[in-house]
Chain A
């Protein structure tokens, strides 16, 4: 008998240099290098590029919807296709556009803002991206395989049951969202860990840039919200594939259960979509106002408050479901009062603008546009909280107007601003500001033309999700205006695309710090070198990089610190970074995240077609096997491929842990040890005292 309490000590295996299934990829450039990259910056770019392509698809769906609704009794799109289009438009814009676009910025910017060389789990990060891509492709493949999801992005039971929806449309939705959910969940784990553990020495929580803060809150929300939709989708899968009756009222199941589960995920989801954009805007406005963010701590705390309160408002999606007056009252109140922290943010942005020296560049225009448009969405949100009248508003175009003012007027305005803002950091070249302004104004006008009239249409009684409406309802004019507006947005998107293409063709190169920035990402070259920071920065205050350049005089006015060289905004050519500085060991590229996530869509196809014939579940098992093999090889592969075994041993790598190089490690007494062995006493990290007094 073996002694289970005292298992024999196994000596750690020496780092392997034998190839595991696949030879370790080495190419620094080329397609293969992108397929195997685990660099957070490249993954960020992949996330961004992929979601912008999905944005075009989602936009195309929106245009088709608007064409159909331009006139009463439209005949261009048949009812079935219309239902697929609005379902896919919503699903795309939420899961394949705004969420991954935010993830693109989490990926690229969060490590730079906190002074890290990568995320906590670089290979897991690659796995997130590939899983997101495969999830998106999987869901879109349904258009070619007999019909896209058609139950709405909310997929209300029992309309999604086999009885009422016997095709595979809903199956693609279930498994597509499951795959995307995996991507989001592991991404959230990664970013929460990164932000909590990989901050540069001296960067206390209350010195973190506000975008990083909002990313942290959003990723916590993701971490807790995704499991709910995962469970709900599993239950629905059991109903559809294996004959259970969770949501089947005809067999005693509960249709409302689905709504509770969905919105318990769905409402925090709204804050997952808007909080990162709030963070982006909170970075852009101080930069171009040349003033610190007004009430930084209150901004952080209100973001956290929104995150917490966001869990207690889901029933406002269900005010018409006939829940009792107590529940309705409670959720009316919570919904009403979530406007308070949101309002604080709006006023604090205004406070930041006040007295500033505003440079109305394209990112700044988008940020200011965000304040105005998001305010409209916030105010119409308060009117929903008046639950008796919400019985008039819900499921009408008034709600469509509301959430587009939040998610387009808010999230997408913020993200567009962020693209213009951080583009020079990512690509070392500007997006043209003049073209950017054309983009902004067409975007702004098109947006308001499209969604402004929907407020009226909704209050005039036009319900959502209708593929046609009758003549004589009085909705003709505003529907036409809205459709014209949607094409103005389309023009705006074309202007943006031309701007991107031109920045590649006729680049105007940017320096490291073209906007006179405030946070750490502007302290390193543009585009960001492979290793991010040649030297891990030590942070002394909030807006640390700004305070290296500027100080304040007695009256609080901005004063440039003598002797600090200000780089020019524009440079002649991009810096070249061929070699990593000595002593920096970054995690090596890997095939296995790609392999592991490739198994997921295979599993999903197996599950979709398994409902037709049991033997198809073998395909699902095969997909599971692929993922398992990928995960196993991944686990066995050292995170950093040693150049030679001695070197690896000296650096303490090659131990099989998936993690970044040991850049910094906190010792038990709170000191921080940098990888060159320098010890920084705790007192030094506490920050300058004059900062505390201000």
Chain B
């Protein structure tokens, strides 16, 4: 009896707590603050996935509420009243049991139907004149992008035109990675010795966040990426800029000294700069300043960040294959001056 009288209070408290939790939840769902939110697709591929899952979430939600309500309801309703309760000894009910086998099965038949349609759909290769092809190659711990039709090689930031399907051929040179820009598409693994395909497309110009989703060793967390979607005009401009070969600075300025240091200190043996060096281990730096980020997209492209990075790369990104070259501050200044010419 005493427990009965306390129940409404407990109920009210629970409701208040639930409402508070819901408010928190909603406030944390703002668009801008969640650059990798899968529930907020910004391209047709990701939207197709979202449209498929939303009704499933609803069905799951209904079952969740049903089972939880029944569990809680039964636990409260059928509490023993005395030690001598003599409940009816029900051993089962064939009809009911058949019912809760068949009904969920039928619901799942419905879910499978739509699932199969989307599986077939997203496995279709993007075709047509407007398709842009990019070879995406996973490295420990950065992404390489090769545009075979445009003859451009870049890293970490994938530039695409809006409203055009981008066909991605995905592979890896070392371990398994997974390419994932959540707002544009679901992830596909980059597996060495194997080429996988995926399509992405963005509705609007903008910068989309993503990162490697398959555990790939020490700095897996630091293998991030950006997809930059351009309007048609900006895209043409970006392609033109990136096809050009930058001039090697001459004379006695910092940039020219930096260019020399770039060779002396060994940078050139790992990094390609079109028209100047041919290294292949690290990212292609030909148009470094076209990128907003660097080092697996963990740093914004600023001179201060470049300085921090050049002082001790493995200190900033654990396991980084780029060693600490023990550069002096002066050398770093000059190298940055050179890098800033790579526009």
A76, CB-defined interface residue at 8 Å: no
B205-223 at interface with A (beta carbon < 8 Å): 209, 211-222
A296 to B68, CA, bound (A): 22
In whole angstroms, how far apart are the Cα atoms of A388 and B38 in the complex?
13
CB-defined contacts of A393 to chain B, threshold 8 Å: 38
| Nearest opposing residue in chain B for A83, CB measure | B218
Asked if B23 CB lies within 8 Å of chain A CBs, one says: no
Of the residues A353, A388, A389, A463, contact of B213 by C-beta under 8 Å: A463
- Chain A residues in 8 Å Cβ range of B111: 336, 382, 385-386
Partner of B36, one of A151, A164, A252, A473: A473
B78 adjacent to A358 (CB under 8 Å): yes
Given A347-B100, A387-B115, A463-B211, A357 and B87 touching (CB < 8 A)? Answer: yes
B39 within 8 A of A: yes
In the assembled complex, the Cα of A383 lies from the Cα of B61 at a distance in Å of 11
Verify B193–A249 contact, CB threshold 8 A. Answer: yes
Q: Does A289 contact B (CB under 8 A)?
A: yes
What distance in Å separates the Cβ of A170 from its nearest Cβ neighbour in chain B?
A: 11
Q: Is A350 touching B187 in the complex (CB atoms < 8 A)?
A: no
Contact of A472 among B33, B123, B192 (CB under 8 A): B33
Within 8 Å by CB of A78, from B72, B90, B188, B318, lies: B318
Interface bracket on B: 35 or more
Q: Please report which residues of chain A, range 51-96, place their CB below 8 angstroms from some CB of chain B when the two chains form the complex.
A: 78-80, 83
Q: How far is the CB of B149 from chain A (nearest CB, A)?
A: 22
The verdict on A395 contacting B63 (CB below 8 Å), with A79-B218, A320-B178, A474-B33 known, is no
B196 and A474 contacting across the interface, CB-CB below 8 Å: no
Nearest CB in chain B to that of A393: its residue: B38
B64 touches A379 (CB 8 A): yes
Complex: A345 Cα to B35 Cα, angstroms: 40
Given A358-B80, A557-B87, A343-B119 contact (CB < 8 Å):
no
Set A358, A465, A477: member contacting B75, Cβ < 8 A = A358
Query: Interface 1/0s, chain A 351-389, versus B by CB < 8 A?
Result: 101111111100000001001100110011011011111
- Asked if B257 is at the interface of the complex by the 8 Å CB criterion, the answer is no
Q: Is A464 an interface residue (CB 8 A)?
A: yes
Q: Is B189 an interface residue, CB under 8 A from the partner?
A: yes
Whole-angstrom CA separation of A472 from B37 in the bound complex: 12
Q: Is the CB of B87 within 8 A of A336?
A: no
Q: How far is the CA of A328 from the CA of B116 in the complex (A)?
A: 9
Q: Is A386 in contact with B115, judged by CB distance below 8 angstroms?
A: yes
B64 close to A164 (CB less than 8 A): no
Q: Is A580's beta carbon under 8 Å from chain B?
A: no
Determine how close the nearest CB of chain B comes to the CB of A570; give it in whole angstroms.
14
The residue among A360, A396, A461 with the most chain B CB atoms within 10 A of its own CB is A461
Residue interface mask B305-327, A partner, CB < 8 A = 1 = 00000000000001100000000
Would B75 and A368 count as touching, CB distance under 8 A? yes
Flag if B186 contacts A351 (CB, 8 Å). no
Q: Mark B177-215, 1 if CB is under 8 A from A, else 0.
A: 010101001111101111011000000000001011111
C-alpha spacing A391/B53, complex, angstroms: 11
Nearest CB of chain A from residue B36's CB, rounded to whole Å: 3
Report, as a range, how many residues of chain A touch the other chain: 35 or more
Are B193 and A552 closer than 8 Å at their CB atoms? no
Q: Mark interface residues in A248-263 (1 if CB within 8 Å of B CB, else 0).
A: 0110101110000000
Instruction: Find A371's partner among B71, B88, B182, B298 (CB 8 Å cutoff).
Output: B71
Q: How far is the CA of A205 from the CA of B70 in the complex (A)?
A: 31
Residues of A contacting B222 with CB < 8 Å?
Answer: 468
A475 shortest CB reach to chain B, Å: 8
Tell me if A630 counts as interface (CB < 8 A to partner B).
Answer: no
Contact B85 A468 (CB under 8 A): no
Tell me whether A295 and B93 are in contact in the complex, defined as CB-CB below 8 angstroms, given that A337-B105, A389-B53 are known contacts: yes
**How far, in whole Å, are A304 and B222 apart by their CA atoms in the complex?**
44
Question: When A337-B108, A477-B24 are in contact, do A290 and B49 touch as well, CB less than 8 Å?
Answer: no
List the A side residues contacting B112 at CB < 8 Å: 332-333, 336
A309–chain B nearest beta-carbon distance, Å? 13
A394 at the interface (CB under 8 A from B): yes
State whether A322 touches B194 (Cβ < 8 A).
yes
Cα distance, A469 to B297, chains bound together (Å): 12
Residues of B within 8 A of A159 (CB): 175-176, 215-217
**B185 to A: closest C-beta gap in Å:** 8
Given contacts A250-B192, A552-B89, contact A350 B74 (CB under 8 A): yes
8 A Cβ contacts from B34-65 to A: 34-39, 46, 48-50, 52-53, 56-57, 60, 63-64
| Chain B, Cβ-Cβ closest to A324 | B123
CB distance from A326 to the nearest CB of B (A): 9
- In the complex, the answer to whether B91 meets A152 with C-beta atoms within 8 Å is no
**Contact of A360 (CB < 8 Å), options: B35, B38, B75, B224:** B75
Q: Does B86 reach chain A (CB closer than 8 Å)?
A: yes
B218 to chain A: closest residue by CB: A79
- With a CB–CB cut-off of 8 A, which chain B residues contact A654? none
The answer, yes or no, to whether A179 is at the interface (CB within 8 Å) is no
* CB within 8 Å for A322 and B78 given contacts A79-B219, A386-B115, A396-B213: no
Q: B82-103, CB under 8 A of A: which get 1 and which 0? A: 0001111111110011001100
The reply to whether A392 and B192 form a contact with Cβ atoms under 8 Å apart is no
**Residue A603 at the chain B interface, CB threshold 8 Å:** no
Nearest opposing residue in chain A for B197, CB measure: A322
Q: Nearest Cβ distance between residue A80 and chain B, in whole angstroms?
A: 6
Asked if A612 CB lies within 8 Å of chain B CBs, one says no
B266 part of interface (Cβ distance < 8 Å): no
Report if B79 contacts A (CB, 8 A).
Answer: yes
The answer to whether the Cβ of A694 comes within 8 Å of any Cβ in the partner chain is yes
If A159-B175, A353-B75 touch, whether A461 touches B89 (CB-CB below 8 Å) is no
In the assembled complex, the Cα of A339 lies from the Cα of B176 at a distance in Å of 30
**Shortest distance from the beta carbon of A549 to any chain B beta carbon, whole Å:** 13
B120 to chain A, nearest CB (A): 6
By the criterion CB–CB under 8 Å, are B71 and A368 in contact?
yes
Q: Given the complex, which residues of B lie within 8 Å of A356, measured CB to CB?
A: 74, 78, 87
Nearest-neighbour CB distance to chain A for B66, whole angstroms, equals: 9
Q: Are B36 and A467 in contact (CB under 8 A)?
A: no
Residues A255-308 near B (CB distance < 8 A)? 255-256, 289-292, 294-298
Instruction: Report the bound CA distance from A651 to B136 in whole Å.
Output: 74
The reply to whether A350 and B101 form a contact with Cβ atoms under 8 Å apart is no
Contacts of B38 in A (CB 8 A): 392-393, 396, 459-461
Q: Which residues of A contact B18 (CB under 8 A)?
A: none
Residue of A254, A358, A389, A555 near B49 (CB, 8 A) is A389
- Check B100–A343 contact: CB distance below 8 A: yes
Is the C-beta of B174 less than 8 angstroms from some C-beta in chain A? yes
Within the complex, the shortest CB–CB distance from B193 to chain A, in Å, comes to 4
Residue of B97, B120, B170, B211 contacting most chain A CB atoms (<10 Å): B97
Known contacts A294-B91, A332-B116, A394-B213; can you find 20 more A-B pairs with CB under 8 A? A156-B175, A158-B175, A164-B175, A250-B193, A294-B90, A320-B213, A321-B196, A325-B120, A332-B112, A351-B92, A353-B74, A355-B78, A387-B119, A388-B49, A389-B49, A460-B37, A461-B34, A464-B213, A469-B221, A556-B90
Q: Chain B: residues with CB nearer than 8 A to chain A?
A: 24-25, 28, 30, 33-39, 46, 48-50, 52-53, 56-57, 60, 63-64, 67-68, 70-72, 74-75, 78-81, 85-93, 96-97, 100-101, 104-105, 108, 111-112, 115-116, 118-120, 122-123, 140, 170, 174-176, 178, 180, 182, 185-189, 191-194, 196-197, 209, 211-222, 224, 298, 318-319
Enumerate 21 A-B pairs (CB-CB under 8 Å) in ascending A order: A158-B176, A256-B194, A291-B88, A292-B89, A295-B97, A329-B120, A344-B97, A348-B92, A350-B67, A359-B80, A372-B71, A375-B63, A386-B56, A387-B119, A388-B49, A392-B46, A460-B36, A465-B215, A465-B220, A469-B221, A474-B34
Binding site for B on A (CB under 8 A): 78-80, 83, 151-152, 156-159, 164-165, 249-250, 252, 254-256, 289-292, 294-298, 320-322, 324-325, 328-329, 332-333, 336-337, 339-341, 343-344, 346-348, 350-351, 353-360, 368, 371-372, 375-376, 379-380, 382-383, 385-396, 456, 459-470, 472-474, 477-478, 552, 555-559, 694
State the 4 A-B residue pairs at the shortest beta-carbon distance, nearest first.
A391-B186, A461-B36, A322-B196, A357-B85
